[in-house]
Chain A
Amino acid sequence: MRAVPMRLDREKLVLGLAAPLLSIVTALAITSAVMGITGDNPFRAFGVMLDYGSKSDSQVWIINKSIPYYLSAVAVAIGFRMNLFNIGVDGQYRVAAFFAAVVGGALSVPGIVRIPVILLVAMACGAIWAGIAGYLKATRGVSEVITTIMLNFIGGSLIAYFLQEGRLAERDENIIHTADIPESSFFFEFPTNPDPVHGTILVAVAIGVLYWFVLGRTRFGFDLRAVGRSEPAAEASGVSVRRTVVTAMLLSGAVAGLVGMPTLLNESGNYGNDFPEGIGFTGIAIALLGRNHPVGMGLAALLWGFLERTGTQLEFEGYDQEIVGVMQGVIVLSVVVAYEIVRRWGIRRQQRQVGEQLAAQSRKNEAAEVPA
């Protein structure tokens, strides 16, 4: 009997790893086929990617790139865990980063005060932007998919309106951006070679740990997961589904608000019209690939960074750069398919095991009854 939970745990691990591995292998096979059809040598391409991706400057680049990806994935995953599809992380982080940059640029206080203020403003803005969708869902039943997409556009227009000379921005040659945050108020960096690793990686790690702790170890997290697994059962158990929806959206938005911070506080120091866009959508793919798992999403974020970094190099080697886009797309598709296959297989397997166990138990009981 004592061996059973152990075995189930190992099974859980195998099942957890099977899906991502299966999807990556499938993705590699399909990409190879695509490259083969277009007349390129896939194996040389993979070689180039591995070679270039493992250079030390590439490593730093990949790590730095994956910080916002990871934060974005966590923001998406908070929604996923309760069956909310927050497509609006993109709008949330841009609105948040913009207003945080405005506030940060306007303040004249030392960095030790300025950085927390900027982070808090960003989280608050992200939470408000996502909270609108949560509120509409809870009170009016409006699908969060629709509202968050809409809010992405509204957020974009809002920023476009304020990001003009004379309003909240200044012109610097072709770039229009908010007032600069002095470098003294930048987040610290790890002095690695050849480039430094952003200190905001600590923010990402802290968010990852918090995500794991709050969802897995607290009553609130249990309520949230219960709603995600079965809304009627959660309702009957005493969870207020509406309140949980709003809270989850607020939390998701607050984390989304941090997505722009590595760029703002470690690189640009302002929000300009060259501020990165689309990280919110990347986050969806990474959350899917990482199975909403705090560590899994970290690995997925690194993989994403690796693909982007090495994609540029492929171009120099005469490949079409789009092949990386194909690879990413294929990975996401195979992830969705592979997870479903593995999930079904896991359920069937478990049911069979339960059956076998019970049969074995009753055989043992009967055997014990006979001599007695």
Chain B
Amino acid sequence: MHALVGENGAGKSTLMKILYGMQRPDEGTITIDGEQVSFRGPADAIARGIGMVHQHFMLADNLTVLENVVLGAEKLHGIGARARRRIVELSDAYGLGVRPDVLVEEIGVADRQRVEILKVLYRGARTLILDEPTAVLVPQEVDALFGNLRELTAEGLTVLFISHKLGEVLSVADDITVIRRGTTVGTVAPSGTTPRQLAELMVGSELPTPETRESTVTREPVLTVTGLHLSGRDADGVSRAILSGVDLTIHKGEVLGIAGVEGNGQAELVEAIMGIRHPDSGVITMDGDDISRASTRARRERGIGYVPEDRHRHGLLLEAPLWENRMLGHVTEPPNSRGPLLTAREARADTRRIVTEYDVRTPGIDVTAGSLSGGNQQKLIVGREMSHRPKVLIAAHPTRGVDVGAQAQIWDHIKEARREGLAVLLISADLDELIGLSDTLKVMYRGRFVADADPATITPEELGTAMTGASAPGAAGTREGEAE
């Protein structure tokens, strides 16, 4: 099991793309089993036994697991009983526990990832490339994933994975390659290396911590949510509560962290606060005014900043240049427009300022947002939202897929704004980040808050346990019974 670590934009993803045949190298060679190869496309790589699990899953939600696995590989074992046998065989052999007939939209993130892994195994992969496989998982799921991966390596397969979490890299990898700015800066063995040394190799600086020292929490509430209910239909068309009875208050200068396994209603809560989803009942107030009926734009103009969970889908126009992305979400405010007219010149100037201040690594502001690396895209988004001096920042996974250096910068920006009275709603799957940044922690499970935690005393392990619903046995137990 080989790990590849490096800053955002260091070239990890590019290297992976080359190995998977999605991009062609200008020079250099790739050798598999002593044989030099060159790939014209992913099909060539697959034929050579290389499989890739992308950071953003590539599954069709409305198809079953079986259909997703055979999609594009129908020639191997057909699409019927033979394919099913092979899938069950693989799933059992490596302990993946995949159920072939459920729809992908019904299964959780960890299960989806296992489907992705199964997909590449089904195509006969002997070398697996995983792009940040743990970014979306809670600690228990991470352990399970590494359990699966160890099974694979025990069978003689090779696993190559990219990660930002140095701790887990050191604990599971057999070998670590560090790259920086497109070149290998070192290959280390995990034994005898500390996270600090590894981080220094990566960025040439100290490992940052999200810890906030002094408390800046005031008693002045900025955003309150009371009695929020939201129901939606699941795949069977049955109406089910997504959020029920959610209450929260964020004060000036407070960071309220919400912990929870993905899919327990956090995303919907964020969308309800932003006015993208319309709850069935409940009141949202900001500075004492009821904004429950206000449009998304009105809410943003009032001073709610938004760092969305999925920056590609909700945060950026990938085909538009950076300066147009700088206007997105704030097009009604200066410096982007005056009256109904855009003020492109000022917006461009301000984009240049954001690029400098937030260290967005780009050759210019006319390149499309899609050509930047993930961390730099995120820095642009954070810069854009902070530039409008929000009173409330809704930050969903603000540092997901972001390297150590950029992570520290984003944390600093949040902390600095918090000192000046910013209220933050923080949702994150990175428990260290959650515990380190938050002043108050709430645990969300199946659409309701089931526990409060004190970030000063709780450990990531305890929080991870609470997130599975274990800390609220009454509520969680009965609801579990209903579901089965």
Contact = CB atoms under 8 A, between A and B. Distances in A.
Given A226-B317, A237-B296, A347-B371, 14 more contacts: A217-B342, A225-B320, A226-B320, A233-B315, A233-B317, A234-B328, A235-B296, A236-B306, A238-B295, A238-B300, A240-B296, A351-B371, A357-B363, A359-B181
Contacts of B317: 226, 229-230, 233
A4 B366 CA distance: 9
A239 B308 CA distance: 15
- Of the candidates B9, B14, B329, the one having the most CB atoms from chain A within 10 angstroms of its own CB is B329
Interface string B47-82: 000000000000000000000000000000000000
A8 to B, nearest CB: 5
B328 A233 contact: yes
A223 B364 contact: no
A interface majority secondary structure: helix
A235 B276 contact: yes
25 contacts: A4-B366, A5-B364, A5-B365, A8-B367, A217-B344, A218-B340, A219-B331, A219-B337, A219-B342, A221-B342, A222-B327, A226-B317, A230-B317, A232-B313, A233-B314, A233-B328, A235-B296, A235-B314, A237-B328, A237-B330, A238-B296, A240-B296, A347-B371, A354-B362, A358-B9
B250 interface: no
A316 to B, nearest CB: 47
A361 B300 CA distance: 36
Contacts of A359: 181-182
Nearest to B301: A238
B361 interface: yes
B165 interface: no
Size bracket, chain B contacts: 35 or more
B304 to A, nearest CB: 10
Contacts of A192: none
A350 B371 contact: yes
Interface residues of A, number: 36
Given A217-B341, A358-B9, A229 B315 contact: no
A229 B329 contact: no
Contacts of B306: 236
Contacts of A217: 341-342, 344
B313 to A, nearest CB: 5
A229 B300 CA distance: 21
Contact of B295 (A233, A240, A355): A240
A12 B370 CA distance: 16
Interface string B335-369: 00100111010000000000000000111111110
Contacts of A4: 363-364, 366
Contact of A226 (B9, B313, B328, B344): B328
A359 B180 CA distance: 10
Contacts of A218: 340-342
A220 interface: yes
A217 B338 CA distance: 11
A173 interface: no
- Of the candidates B296, B299, B306, the one having the most CB atoms from chain A within 10 angstroms of its own CB is B296
Given A219-B342, A236-B314, A354 B329 contact: no
B324 A222 contact: yes
B120 interface: no
B371 A232 contact: no
A236 B307 CA distance: 10
Contacts of A347: 368, 370-371
Contacts of B365: 5
Given A8-B364, A219-B341, A362-B181, A229 B320 contact: yes
